Structure 1
Amino acid sequence: MRFLSLAIIASLSLIELVQGQSSQHVLSSATEKKRPNILFIFTDDQDYRMDSLSYMPNVQKYLVDQGTTYTNHYATVSVCCPSRVSLLRGQFAHNTNITHVMEPYGGYDRFNALGLGEDYLPLWLQAAGYSTNYIGKLMNGVSVHNWETAPKGWDYQDQLLDPYTYVYNTPVFSKDGQSPVFYENSYQTDIIHGKAKAALKKLNNTEEPFFLWVSPMAPHGQFVINPNDPKDITSEPPIPAQRHKNLFQDVKVPRTANFNPDVQGKTASYFNDLPKLDENQTDFLDHTYRSRLRALQAVDEMVGTLFQQLEEQGQLEDTYIFYSADNGYHLGQHRTPAGKTTNMEEDINVPLIIRGPGIAKGAVSDLVSTHESLAPTFLALANAEDKLPSWIDGGVIPITSALKQHPLQASTETFSVEFWSDVVAWENSETLFSPGANTYKTLRIVGPNYDYSYAVWCTGEHELFDIKHLSQNDPYQTQNIYKQATDRFINRLDALLLVLKSCKAESCRNPWKILHEQDKIGSLPQALSKDLDDFYATLPKVKYDHCTGYYDYENEAPHFGDTALAAESPKQATVVNNPRKSQQREVPPQNIVDLFSLIPVPEETGEFMVDDDFESRARPVPEELKETIVDWSKYGFYSFGS
């Protein structure tokens, strides 16, 4: 019999529901005033839980001290391509059907095949009269051989191109669908830095407001292919700019309660079999952590330049600046090698700092939000919500007093985290893949005095972590209390996950309304009323028919509230029944290795000065590289660990 302490139940029952806000939208009515600009700085794999932001002085000076840090912002699928598509579309991954970083379940070609680029963020902003601009990494699969099919919706774009996206000293770009160039003897983040500063200068001369998304690859790990040994394809910690390579000599991964614990706290699927890391492994994790902090220094320098540029142009006070990352990262937590893709907080809780008109300065907020709600929030700030489609899952994050009154409110209590994989992938490790299902649905439910993580795995295993409570705190997820919880409490959590795991549109923003259409139930404390015990006890339970490495709606039956999920939605992909196993990668033939080596990789790059004429370093990409179509994923370039 499960049980929760009477103190927990009692304290939950005392928490009152925050009443719904008025439906009136009260953004400024001064139509003659130019609408605000939006600058979005978006890093790749940056941790929040391991304190990387503290090592970025310009981020601290211009954003943390002058804006609001949101401690409860989440990526709902913890790997780059699905997370980025969810942000661009304002949809959960089970609705985009982009669930991996490569074919057949992810990547740029699949994004286009599903028609997702026909109706997404930059097109909505263009329709609202914004100049749209993108610099850096968009998603996996934008390549040296498909550069002519540039994504729609960007007035200006300078895209990083695969297979060189994850090589720090080989920056390869295509500007506005033009023939690719590489930048000789240059550091990738520095080139993005220069392009972003130049873009701001150009945008200063435009009449329409601008949206500028700057997406450096740092602090993602680096791909390595040994030209002398084609079998030697792996990943390694990020490469810092030469000027930063000796910083932070004594810094180590924070030794929190979940770092390489003596007793494993996560007890589902492959976590059960992870051995305790040895000293050599933890030393390497510390080296990886230092490398990540070093790689972020060039990003931090860029942040400083962009703020100075906005200030010089007189645009700073009329610009909203967002800083975030596509997913988090783990290093040794719960005995894991480096990587992401798990449902632990280190992988899903990501940075979000916002500065701009009406944003509190030097503030910290525990408001709950996810990536799916960033696009609606951008459109709300632009006073262009009418451009949003009806099928959008996210809502407006109430980051200003005006947005607290917005009718399309994001959920500030519940959301789901999801993943599908038939293997477990690690980075910078001798073992890039481990056996074990990594397919799960996780409910995160956060209130004023409670914070729970409840997961159902395809293996039938369950996890429940009490992350924050008045009487119990387990912020590092070290004690799975699923077997100790009462049936009535689990029934509530499972019911929420039952709705959220296949939600669409409004049901994602307010699952309580789907469960209690006629009743005014709007929070976990209210749902714990004993009068509702029979109702919750009769609902079907979340389960999988079997483990798969891809999303299959029927495999994840039962579903609840399908009639409420009938919002207009984009076309879905056909399930592939013979998926390529992620760990089955081929050894590239020598001609493919030679092809990759056509772009020289310097051991060290020259020092970069932002006022240099960096475009003078651009060189044409060899024709052979552009004309040869290669499925680089076959060789491990887009596997989670590489």
Structure 2
Amino acid sequence: MTRSPRILTPIVVVLVALLAWVTGTQAMPAAPSAAARPNVVFVLTDDLSWNLIAHMPQVRRLQADGVTFNDYTVTDSLCCPSRSSIFTGRFPHDTGVFTNGGADGGFGYFHGHGEEKQTFATALQSSGYRTAMMGKYLNGYLPADTQGGTQPYVPPGWSEWDVGGNGYQEFDYDLNENHKVVHYGNRPQDYMVDVLAGKGANFIADSAAAHQPFLLEIATFAPHAPYTPAPRDADSFPGLTAPRGPAFDTLPADAPPWLAGRAPLTGAEKTAIDSGFRKRVQAVQSVDRMLTTLRAAVTKAGVAGDTYVVFSSDNGYHMGQYRLNPGKMTAFDTDIRVPLVVAGPGVTPGSTSTAQVQNIDLAPTFQSLAGTAVPSTVDGRSLAPLLHGGSGAGWRTTSLVEHHGPDALPDDPDLPAPNSGNPPTYSAIRTGVYTYVEYSDGSREYYDRTTDPHQLHNLAGTLSPARLAELHAAVTGLTNCHTGAACWTAGHAG
């Protein structure tokens, strides 16, 4: 009797992924038959910090069903650079996207420099996947823009495209729906997260009915400011206040110049932070329900056993920590360390990983799970071995964060408000033990997170010249790597 390739193929894919782990290569076998390849449902939130997860029961259920990566960081705590790294698997110094607009960032740079031509979407679509992008794309993208064509622009690689531009208010927005601009108003049913949840469920059903493997990315604007909740959540969590951990309203000792000297938060600022945190918790309730909707759709379509569900954020968010008003862009863990939760075939329920993983690892993960080749130009590494029980032995020990600043673009939705944190250009490395930052003005930070997990004691001034030289070499090695092999090697030098 001939065995079904549906049983054999996933085993082969996992074995080859493990072989790639051991040999240090990223080569994958020829794509298996469409019926055997797993699906991916990827929910990417905007500015979602770890302290919101306690208020998201469906995300916690996903954690119980899968693996949580506790040391997952982004390449830049800013929307467009982070999303560019997610799409391509490359660091900002390779995508060229360091900001949300202007000469070194935004959709204009990403599109104008051909970055859209080689993403996880183009790779999966070319191998027979149905692909869908819904919600937020890149800063500066406008739904009605034709990019010189005859109809609203849709980037390559996407079978379904339902994407907005300025959707932060969650109401009164436009979506480019497969080259057609559709306006949504101010009715409760127009709330964007709910609209995307419905579209995502329909895409899952249609893809399963067509017997095609699929990848669905839904990128919400929530809980980005102005933290707009769905109407049914607007009165929830009465009296909730922002967490007040050790870093709240506290300056680190020997803070760098951009941070030093800040006065304590005023009563009005603390009140605004509490109100904002409550609204953020309200806003993510719809995202949490979206997870329920999408997972139910996968189950109803009969493909739950063949589908990976991935939940994450493009960056974190600080609210009162280090005397900073709400914002991001810093190298503190509040801003760069975000949730990554994955459930699916072969993933051990309720497991955790402390491997140093980054958002550059998502694109090669999606491609390797699909059985498509990962180009050598991809800086990241597939997480498939970690998903399927790997211990993390031999994984990179050092992650890189790159940022250009300060931000002064007047039309940037992330333009920092006064006293919210707007650091100058820096490069930082983060290991399981410490965080080290080099700023363009010559200042440095070093936090030993084993003894100082809240990063309140900058020890850079106490380090020997030899140790500083070692750290500088580690930063330089990562900021100058340009291939998967080179970046993998540099990621072990910290």
Alignment TM class, shorter chain as reference: 0.7 to 0.9
Once the two structures are superposed, residues 553-572 of structure 1 have per-residue CA deviations (whole angstroms, 9 ceiling, x without a partner) of xxxxxxxxxxxxxxxxxxxx
d(CA) in 2 for partners of 1:401 and 1:429? 37
3-state SS in 2 of match to 1:151: coil
1:500 counterpart = 2:486: no
Counterpart residue number, 2:299:
311
Counterpart of 2:97 in structure 1 is 98
Aligned equivalent of 1:287: 275
**How far is 1:103 from its partner?**
2.3
Distance 1:175 1:86, change over 3 A: same
Q: How many correspondences in the alignment?
A: 463
Deviation string, structure 1 residues 331-363 (Cα, Å, up to 9, x no partner): 011000101111111110011000011111011
Secondary structure of the residue aligned to 1:150 is coil
**For 1:344-359, what aligned pairs fall within 5 Å after superposition?**
344-359=332-347
Deviations 1:451-509 (Å, cap 9, x if unpaired)? 111111111111100012xxxx1111000111222333333222111111222112221
Deviations 1:65-114 (A, max 9, x none): 10111110011111101110111111111111111112232222222111
CA 1:405–1:339: 2 relative to 1, 3 Å:
closer
Match of 1:249 in 2: 238
Contact in 2 for aligned 1:27/1:403 (Cα 8 Å): no
> 1:380 touches 1:403 (CA, 8 Å); kept in 2?
no
| CA displacement at 1:422 relative to structure 2 | 3.1
Structure 1 segment 581-592 matched on structure 2, within 5 A: none
Q: 1:73 and 2:72 equivalent?
A: yes
Aligned to 1:333: 321
Normalised by the length of structure 1, the TM-score is 0.68
Query: What is the CA distance between 1:43 and its match in structure 2?
Result: 0.4
C-alpha separation in 2, matches of 1:215 and 1:190? 12
The one-letter amino acid paired with 2:167 is T
Deviations 1:405-446 (A, max 9, x none): 99xx99531121111113479999994478975211111122
Q: CA offset at residue 266 of structure 1?
A: 6.1
Partner SS, residue 49 of structure 2: coil
Mind listing any 5+ residue stretches in structure 2 that lack a counterpart? Answer: 1-20, 147-151
Partner SS state of residue 323, structure 1 = strand
Contact 2:144 2:153 in 1 (8 A): no
Distance 1:210 1:343, change over 3 A: same
State the match for 1:391 in structure 2.
Answer: 377
2:63 is the alignment partner of 1:55? no
AA in 1 matched with 2:434: Y
Q: Does 1:189 align with 2:193?
A: yes
Report what 1:165 is aligned to. 167
Deviation (angstroms), 1:28:
11
Residue type of the partner of 1:509? W
Q: What residue number does 2:255 align with?
A: 267
Structure 1 or 2, whichever has the larger Rg, is 1
Shift of 1:364: 1.9
SS of residue in 2 equivalent to 1:273: coil
2:6 match? none
Report if aligned partners of 1:158, 1:174 keep a CA contact under 8 Å in 2: yes
Matches within 5 A, 1:192-271: 192-222=196-226, 238-261=227-250, 263-265=251-253, 267-271=255-259
> In 1, are the aligned partners of 2:252 and 2:455 still within 8 Å (CA)?
no
Contact between 2:311 and 2:339, CA under 8 Å: does it hold in 1? yes
Matches within 5 A, 1:115-154: 115-146=114-145, 148-154=152-158
Q: Which of residues 433, 436, 445 is equivalent to 1:463? A: 445
**Aligned mates of 1:279, 1:488 — CA distance in 2:** 45
Provide the C-alpha distance between the structure 2 equivalents of 1:57 and 1:125, rounded to a whole number of angstroms: 31
The counterpart of 2:400, out of the listed 384, 403, 416, is 416
Summarize deviations over 1:532-566 as a string: whole Å, max 9, x none: xxxxxxxxxxxxxxxxxxxxxxxxxxxxxxxxxxx
CA contact (8 A) 1:266 1:334 kept: no
Give 1:637's aligned residue: none
- Contact 2:324-2:419 at 8 Å conserved across structures: no
Identity %: 28
Give distance in 1, aligned partners of 2:101 and 2:468. Answer: 36
Is the CA contact (8 Å cut-off) linking 2:324 and 2:420 kept in structure 1?
Answer: no
1:36, 1:382 within 8 Å by CA — same for their partners in 2?
yes
Match of 1:82 in 2: 81
Q: Is the 8 A contact 2:31 2:371 kept in 1?
A: no
1:52, distance to aligned residue in structure 2 (A): 0.7
What CA distance in whole angstroms lies between the structure 2 residues aligned with 1:444 and 1:383? Answer: 31
Is residue 2:344 matched to residue 1:360? no
C-alpha RMSD of matched pairs (Å) = 2.8
For 2:448, the aligned partner's letter is D
Q: Secondary structure in 2 aligned to 1:286?
A: helix
Structure 1 pair 137–498 and aligned structure 2 pair: CA distance change class (3 A): same
User: What is the CA-CA distance between 1:151 and the residue it aligns to?
Assistant: 1.1
Distance 1:297 1:197, change over 3 A: same
- Looking at structure 1, the residues matched to 156 and 273 of structure 2 have their Cα atoms a distance apart, in angstroms, of 40
Deviations 1:169-215 (A, max 9, x none): 22321111223332451211111111111211211212221001011
Matched-pair contact (CA < 8 Å) for 1:137–1:159: yes
**Alignment check: 8 A CA contact 2:69 2:355 kept:** yes
- 1:319/1:171 Cα in 2 relative to 1: closer, same or farther (>3 Å)? same
- C-alpha change, 1:217 and 1:410, in structure 2 (3 Å) is farther
Q: 1:439 to 1:29 in 2, by over 3 A?
A: closer
SS for the counterpart of 1:264 is coil
What are the within-5 Å matches in structure 2 for residues 564-583 of structure 1? Answer: none
Secondary structure of the residue aligned to 1:294 is: helix
* 8 Å CA contact 2:312, 2:341 repeated in 1: yes
CA distance in 2, matches of 1:428, 1:437: 13
Amino acid at match of 1:442: A
- The corresponding residue for 2:7 is none
Out of 446, 449, 457, the position equivalent to 1:479 is 457
Q: Do the aligned partners of residues 392 and 429 (structure 1) sit closer, same or farther apart at CA in structure 2, a change above 3 Å counting?
A: closer
How big is the shift at 1:53?
Answer: 0.9
d(CA) in 2 for partners of 1:399 and 1:183?
45
In structure 2, relative to structure 1, the CA distance for the partners of 1:427 and 1:390 (3 Å cut) is closer
Alignment-mate amino acid for residue 252 of structure 1: T
- Which residue, 22, 45, 48 being the options, matches 1:46? 48
Q: Distance in 1 between matches of 2:474 and 2:88?
A: 23
Q: Which amino acid aligns with 1:452?
A: Y
Give the 3 Å change call, closer, same or farther, for CA 171–403 of structure 1 in structure 2.
Answer: farther
DSSP 3-state at the match of 2:184? strand
Are the equivalent residues in 2 in contact too, given 1:423–1:436 (CA < 8 A)?
A: yes
Q: Partners in 1 of 2:126 and 2:371 — Cα distance?
A: 12
What amino acid is aligned across from residue 441 of structure 1 in structure 2?
Answer: S
Aligned CA distance change for structure 1 residues 184 and 256 (closer, same or farther; 3 Å):
closer
Q: Helix, strand or coil for the counterpart of 2:69?
A: strand
Question: Equivalents in 2 of 1:434, 1:402: separation in Å?
Answer: 40
> Which consecutive residues of structure 1, in runs of 5 or more, have no partner in the other structure?
1-19, 223-237, 513-521, 525-642
What secondary structure is seen at the aligned counterpart in 1 of 2:236? coil
SS, match of residue 354 in structure 1: strand
Matches of 2:242 and 2:435, distance apart in 1: 24
1:377 equivalent in alignment to 2:359: no
Q: Describe the shift of the 1:275–1:427 C-alpha distance in structure 2 as closer, same or farther (beyond 3 A).
A: farther
Counterparts of 2:415 and 2:376, CA distance in 1:
44
Shift of 1:284: 0.9
